[in-house]
Amino acid sequence: MKIAFIGLGNMGAPMAANLAAAGHTVTGFDLSAACPEGVSPAGSATAAAQGAEVVITMLPNGDILRRVAAEVIPAMPEGAVLLDCSTVDVDSARAVAAMAADAGRRAVDAPVSGGVGGAAAGTLTFMAGGPADAFEAVRPLFEVMGQKAVHCGDAGAGQAAKICNNMILGVTMIATCEAFALADKLGLDRARMFDVVSTSSGYSWSMNAYCPAPGVGPNSPADNGYKPGFAAELMLKDLRLSQLAAESADADTPMGLTAMQLYERFVEDEGGRGKDFSAMLPRFEGRERS
């Protein structure tokens, strides 16, 4: 397939490289990052999009996505698919889909989970929103870049699934960390606490697969000085997106709001920036900061 790839940062570069290695013709554009091996550089996003059957974007936020989409959609061939894999707000995903439909192009929002490691290994999970025919058209690309793609519904449904999932993740990570800190104060051994909770009704991915306590449970960023992993500021970005969506849809999400406020304080005032999001546990150990 002839593919344009716009946004070749930490995630985009390995994803584009995997597509090129699988035999697709990939033209890339980024404001600052260089093209990875196998990807031919274009002078602009518009130049990359010309003649492309699929234009993939992997950009920092919804405002940038809207600007790039407004530039590239008119340059895309009729019927071509704009496949946005960035994590952005649901409203931006829907606005971009409407822009594409008005111009006779198709759009799919397909944010990913799996991080930089999954992007490099081609094992990402894609959660997608948009017309079924457009999803089918890009399915072979999902198969190269990832191991699973779920068609979640119409435009914006992929972003909705991503931020709902990450809202649960933020809340359960905080609950797991505060429970460990309480267990410490009650004199309960952390390994015993893990043993019980990981096989009882308090279990979750945060406890069982990504335990925030060093030396307990499976290997996780806690065992590596809380080096990310999934950085606290990226969790904060996703929690902010879930709150934006909740406001826009008039949904009541008090736990998501509290999680966002705690990560906000952690990242902005308490030195959490650059640490893994599970570093909430050492934060709760300092009782005076809670």
Residues that bind ligand NAD (CB under 6 A): 6-12, 29-33, 45, 58-60, 64, 68, 86-87, 112, 115-116, 237
Q: How many helices (H) and strands (E) does the chain have?
A: 12, 9
Cα–Cα distance, 71 to 158 (Å, whole number): 23
Q: Which is nearer to ligand NAD, 141 or 179 (CB)?
A: 141
Rounded to the nearest whole angstrom, what is the least distance from the CB of residue 124 to ligand NAD in the complex?
8
Q: From the centroid of its chain, how far is CA 250?
A: 23
Rounded to the nearest whole angstrom, what is the least distance from the CB of residue 69 to ligand NAD in the complex?
10
Rounded to the nearest whole angstrom, what is the least distance from the CB of residue 120 to ligand NAD in the complex?
11
Rounded to the nearest whole angstrom, what is the least distance from the CB of residue 37 to ligand NAD in the complex?
16
CB-nearest residue to ligand NAD: 9
Choice among 162, 185, 237, 275 that is catalytic: 162
Cα–Cα distance, 61 to 69 (Å, whole number): 12
Cα–Cα distance, 154 to 151 (Å, whole number): 9
Q: Which is nearer to ligand NAD, 60 or 140 (CB)?
A: 60
- For the question of residue 275 being annotated catalytic, the response is no
48 CB-contact burial (10 Å; exposed 0-12 / middle 13-18 / buried 19+)? buried
Site of tokens 């274009």: 42
Q: Mind telling me the catalytic residues?
A: 162
